Amino acid sequence: MDMLVTNGIVVTMNKNMEIIEDGAVYIRDNTIVQIDGKNTFSDMMAGETIDARGGIIMPGLINTHTHASMTLFRGLADDMPLMNWLNDHIFPAESKLTEDMVYKGAMLACAEMIRSGTTCFCDMYLFENKVAKAAFDSGMRAVVGEVLYDFPSPCYGDLASGFNYVSKMMHTWKNNPRITIAVEPHSTYICKPELLKTAAALARQNNSPIVIHLAETENEIAQIKEKYGTTPVQFLADLGILGPDLIACHCVHLTKEDIQLLKKYSVKIAHCPESNMKLASGVAPVPELIKQGICVSLGTDGCASNNDLDLFLEMDTAAKLHKVFTMNPEAIKAETALKMATINGAEALGLDDVTGSLEVGKRADIIVVDTSKPHMVPMYNPCSHLVYAANGSDVSASIIDGKLVMKNGEIFGMDIWKIMDDVKKIVNTRLIP
């Protein structure tokens, strides 16, 4: 089937940051086959035509770090430090989870992400095979991996079973066009060296990404310093874990030497400014990371520490946070923030030949942003508007892998009311005493 997305400003996010003022994108099957002015396609009869009505046609957003099923814990334990939040509230609540709960929480997350313009996400959580299924059922693109701990998991039990669980996921989703399986040790402070080395070996044997929380809090830095006499980044370097296949989430507390190691090994960063702000973890040195040529992408983290999955809001926060923190209005420009949420996200996940920009030959992961609203008028610069004026509710249409998953704000193939009702029932009967 072919599809035409037309009558809009095409923000390509290609290397030249090309913008076509009155353009269109033509899709055949799941692939972009032509991008041009809309008049080029005036005589064309496509199987499906999406009229952008003068809005913005752009790549879908890419959330490189979240815990999708934490939608179940949205607002559960607000306004406290990370370690108290994690140990006293989140871990106890997670011990009650079942795979059915995780699936339903992930479906709610997918609905929220689709509705707010995200077409691809990277997830770390429990019962991740069900998160993969939720992503597949909803039509999303996803990189998912079961979180690995030194202690028993509510999903797989002992660690050996955890590695078996991940291996089975790799087999189950092998060659799936939208689902990629990653290997995801939780962090340096919850994972012993042997776990980390085994996880990296498993990932590299299967050409899979590695995802880990890294250098998120001062407490973490102190723990690793006490245990191993070094920083978390240097600790991973000494173990042979750092590499271009590693997605390091947060990276708030870094030394100059840490940054050089991240650069040397081409590590990718998932920056989560709203979660870092809410948990008072600190401000990551993103302008310096970018200056060093390190790929920095954008994540929301989970709904228990954000409390939403809206990447438009995350872009706005990222740009403004670093301006005020450095007292430099040019620290993170709108164009940079937009790259972090699109093409940089694709690069971080190893999917930049598939998605992240609108280019001929790439998969059709496309959203349309409605600009016919009071807060979107007038518009001098589309990139600035997307970062500083738009929000997730402005997304009117979404196409993922060439399939129309949302039009005029209506998500297809998902019963949103039932999904929300399912989550309410779980929370009321199982998670809250």
Query: Cβ neighbours of residue 61 under 8 Å, at least 6 residues apart?
Result: 116, 117, 118, 119, 120, 311, 312, 341, 342, 345, 367
Residue 83 has what pLDDT?
82
pLDDT at 433 over 70: no
Q: What share of the chain is helix, strand, coil (3-state, %, to 5)?
A: 40, 25, 35
Asked if 293 contacts 244 with a C-beta cutoff of 8 angstroms, the reply is no
Residue 158 has what pLDDT?
95
CATH assignment of the domain containing 145: 3.20.20.140
pLDDT at 277 over 70: yes
Mean pLDDT of the chain: 96
User: 155 in a domain, yes or no?
Assistant: yes
Are 10 and 93 in a shared domain?
no
Task: Give the residue from 275, 260, 383 showing the smallest Cα distance to 332.
Answer: 383
Average pLDDT estimate for 157-182: 97
Task: Give the residue from 179, 73, 150 showing the smallest Cα distance to 426.
Answer: 73
User: 301 in a domain, yes or no?
Assistant: yes
User: 327 in a domain, yes or no?
Assistant: yes
275-306: buried (b, 16+ CB within 10 Å) or exposed (e) per residue? bbebbebbebbbbebbeeebbbbbbbbbbbbb
Band of pLDDT at residue 430, cut at 50, 70 and 90: low
Quick check: helix, strand or coil at residue 163?
helix
Distance CA(432)–CA(427), nearest Å, equals: 6
DSSP state of 253: S
Residue 45 has what pLDDT?
82
Are 154 and 300 in a shared domain?
yes
Q: Tell me the two tokens of residue 126.
A: 């429990």
Distance CA(20)–CA(119), nearest Å, equals: 22
Q: Is the peptide bond before 408 cis (omega within 30 degrees of 0)?
A: no
Instruction: Render 299-350 in DSSP notation, one character per residue.
Output: ----TTSS----HHHHHHHHHHHHHHHHT-TTSS-HHHHHHHTTHHHHHHTT
Residue 429 has what pLDDT?
77
CATH assignment of the domain containing 6: 2.30.40.10
Residue 187 has what pLDDT?
98
Average pLDDT estimate for 356-363: 98
Could you give the count of Cα atoms lying within 13 Å of 76 in the half-sphere of its Cβ?
Answer: 24
Residue after which a domain boundary falls, among 327, 348, 369: 348
> Tokens 């947060």, residue?
250
At 45-60, the pLDDT tens digits run 889 999 999 999 999 9
Average pLDDT estimate for 355-363: 98
Are 172 and 127 in a shared domain?
yes
Are 213 and 226 in a shared domain?
yes
At 363-406, the pLDDT tens digits run 999 999 999 999 999 999 999 999 999 999 999 999 999 999 99
Are 55 and 101 in a shared domain?
no
At 307-353, the pLDDT tens digits run 999 999 999 999 999 999 999 999 999 999 999 999 999 999 999 99
Residue 432 has what pLDDT?
54
User: 416 in a domain, yes or no?
Assistant: no
Are 53 and 127 in a shared domain?
no
Quick check: helix, strand or coil at residue 3?
strand
Quick check: helix, strand or coil at residue 121?
strand
Q: Is the peptide bond before 152 cis (omega within 30 degrees of 0)?
A: no
DSSP state of 126: S
* Percent residues over pLDDT 90 in the chain: 92
Residue 44 has what pLDDT?
84
Distance CA(97)–CA(85), nearest Å, equals: 17
Q: Could you tell me which residues are beta bridge partners of residue 406?
A: 398, 411
Could you give the count of Cα atoms lying within 13 Å of 288 in the half-sphere of its Cβ?
Answer: 16
Helix axes of 99-115 and 128-138: crossing angle, nearest 10 degrees: 40
Residue after which a domain boundary falls, among 348, 365, 387: 348
Which residues constitute the domain of residue 50? 2-59+356-411
Are 50 and 141 in a shared domain?
no
At 327-338, the pLDDT tens digits run 999 999 999 999
Average pLDDT estimate for 268-297: 97
Split into its structural domains, the chain has a count of 2
* Positive or negative: CA dihedral 238, 239, 245, 246: negative
Distance CA(392)–CA(409), nearest Å, equals: 11
Are 298 and 404 in a shared domain?
no
User: 195 in a domain, yes or no?
Assistant: yes
User: 424 in a domain, yes or no?
Assistant: no
Q: Could you tell me which residues are beta bridge partners of residue 66?
A: 123
pTM of the model: 0.97
Are 321 and 206 in a shared domain?
yes
Residue 376 has what pLDDT?
98
Are 299 and 390 in a shared domain?
no
User: 69 in a domain, yes or no?
Assistant: yes
Are 378 and 281 in a shared domain?
no
User: 417 in a domain, yes or no?
Assistant: no
Are 150 and 286 in a shared domain?
yes
